[in-house]
Amino acid sequence: MGLKEFKPTSPGRRDTIADDYKDVTTNKPEKSLLAPLSKKGGRNNRGRVTVRHRGGGHKRRYRIVDFKRDKTGAATVLSIEYDPNRTARIALVRFEDGMKRYIVAPNGVKVGDVVQSGDDAPVATGNSRKLGSLPTGTLVHNVEVTPGKGGQMVKSAGAVAQVMAHEGGYTLLRLPSGEMRRLLSDCQATVGQVSNLDHKNEKLGKAGRNRHRGRRPTVRGSVMSPAAHPHGGGEGRAGIGMPGPKTPWGKPALGKRTRRNKRTDKFILRRRYDR
């Protein structure tokens, strides 16, 4: 895991800061854990564009990752691999009965290490346990929200949450955003921090690398015509000229809070924007 810079042989190379992939141990994924991944181009089942600026990109195959970590017993890490579908690395592990699975690779786990699942597993990096069985202060990732559903939070590169307290069947977690949230103590979590910590320091350097990822160009609303965008029109560099930024369809944007899940409000003790 590290970064590399390039000699400025072109304008794109001058600004590029790329991953050196030294932590990746193989470039051939496990065939039994691959699945086809069709392109959507930001379109729904009716063919209408519902997410703008998507399309193109390099062809990918999906890696079937075990987010549940529901198989008990020891598993040996066979390889650390690149996954085109996520920012973190994935680790191929093999259990004693020969079964192979992919897991989100924790930071510091190497080939040959042993990882375990279950409440009898030691509190060590890469092991998965219920939140209620972890001591306060433990750093975790791949956290379940609903017991048995599999990890849904804290899965991207470098992410980590911290166990703060246990009370009344709930565990208080501090999430990467700073939010303090209660989760059922029966939810599973993996000890440690997610791998690929330097991902946040990468610089693509040129528009072409974004196109490889399936991201199409974005045009600022202020340079459009007033018929195409609420911010458009005017002479020169005109301001927005209205109470608050808008989307192309006139809805509030850029900081407008859109959370509407009142059902789980009682579990959030501190909002991420209250820090």
Question: Would you state the structure tokens that stand for residue 119, as one six-digit string?
Answer: 């409440």
Instruction: Decide if 109 contacts 91 (C-beta within 8 A).
Output: yes
**Domain coordinates in residue numbering, the chain:** 3-200+262-274
Give the position of tokens 């590399």: 4
Question: Would you state the structure tokens that stand for residue 174, as one six-digit string?
Answer: 């501090």
Question: Would you state the structure tokens that stand for residue 16, as one six-digit string?
Answer: 């590029």
192: region left, alpha or beta (phi > 0 left; psi from -120 to 50 alpha): left
Whole-number Å distance between alpha carbons of 158 and 193:
6
CB neighbours (10 Å) of residue 144? 23
The domain made up of 3-200+262-274 has a fold known as OB fold (Dihydrolipoamide Acetyltransferase, E2P) (2.40.50)
Task: List the chain pLDDT tens, one digit each, 275 residues.
Answer: 689 999 999 999 999 999 999 999 999 999 999 999 999 999 999 999 999 999 999 999 999 999 999 999 999 999 999 999 999 999 999 999 999 999 999 999 999 999 999 989 999 999 999 999 999 999 999 999 999 999 999 999 999 999 999 999 999 999 999 999 999 999 999 999 999 999 999 999 999 999 999 999 999 999 999 999 999 999 999 999 888 999 999 999 998 999 999 999 999 999 998 76
